Amino acid sequence: MKQAFLFVLLLIDFSATAQVLRKRTVKLMGSRFDITIVAIDSLTAEQNIDTVIAEVTRIENLISDWRANTQISQVNRNAGIAPVKVDAEVVALTERALHFSKTTNGAFDISFAAMDRIWKFDGSMTKMPTAEAIRKSVEKVGYKYIILDREKSTIFLSRKGMKIGFGALGEGYAADRCREMMLARGIKAGIVNGSGDMNTWGKQPDGRDWSVGITNPLHKDTVFAIVPLRKSAVVTSGSYEKFVVFNGKRYAHIINPRSGYPATGLSSVTVFGPSAETANGFSTSLMVLGKVAGLKLIRKYPEYSYILIADDGEVISSRDLGLKKKRL
């Protein structure tokens, strides 16, 4: 659902501190995870990176919709047949996703997993799909047909052929969980970055804030802003690498689950806030909603900050970030 344009700037003077920083890159949840831990010694740092990897793997084995033996895959196999009992953790995650779907009036929808992949962004498309094909592609999508029973701890997809998938939302959830776990273990600083769904805590060993560079989506080899991460989480959704152009109009690879048409108008959306899971929901939704409706939504949540970059290069950001109004 997203392309990430984030990287963390690690500008550290190790002579100023006895702490050590260790970083490891692994593939989890089908994506790249960059895990950074600051600890009192190398062994402690490496052991806690192992703990983060184990926790992300546990979550993947719980909610993955591409692994046949997970609870979510079982839910999908029983669509239109019967409710499936799942862990309370899965119920809670699904409940939050459904709340986000209602908040965005369906711009965000975990049942997008059932969408027919009629749009191709690999250069093979020569013409737009027909309106009828687009309409049919989302026939099995609809969060309102997801029936959640908290008391029985079950999920039921009431229409045959429906599927749910947490995708990048799951990566954000994993990043949030790992941050909480590391803080509980006394690890006072680090980063868990799941393919651009990033959660940070504490500061660099020299006492400075972590900083993130925001890539210019119109010139992907350049950074147009460096933002200190005073809010723990940051997520970017964007489309500058995966898109098609028909009749002079640019269509992003992020699909509107309500209509089946690709998002238009925004090249990237970056959201900062206390939760990577929620920031991911916002970034994806704003790409679908577009500038006007997206700003109307995000401004209702002052604990979350934003940077929106329109297809024409206009940059719109929340005042607290201190970025000058500009056009790329």
Known binding site for Mg(2+): residues?
A: 168, 284
Residue 242 in contact with residue 232, Cβ under 8 Å? Answer: no
**Residues contacting 180, CB < 8 A, separation 6+:** none
User: Residues forming the annotated binding site?
Assistant: 168, 284
Residue 259 in contact with residue 231, Cβ under 8 Å? Answer: no
Residue 282 in contact with residue 170, Cβ under 8 Å? Answer: no
Report which DSSP code applies to 113: G
Strand order of the sheet with strand 211-215? 6-9, 211-215, 223-228
Say how far apart CA 179 and CA 231 lie, in whole Å.
13
Sign of the CA dihedral running 6, 11, 17, 23? positive
Distances (CA, A) of 62 to 94, 173, 328: 12, 12, 42
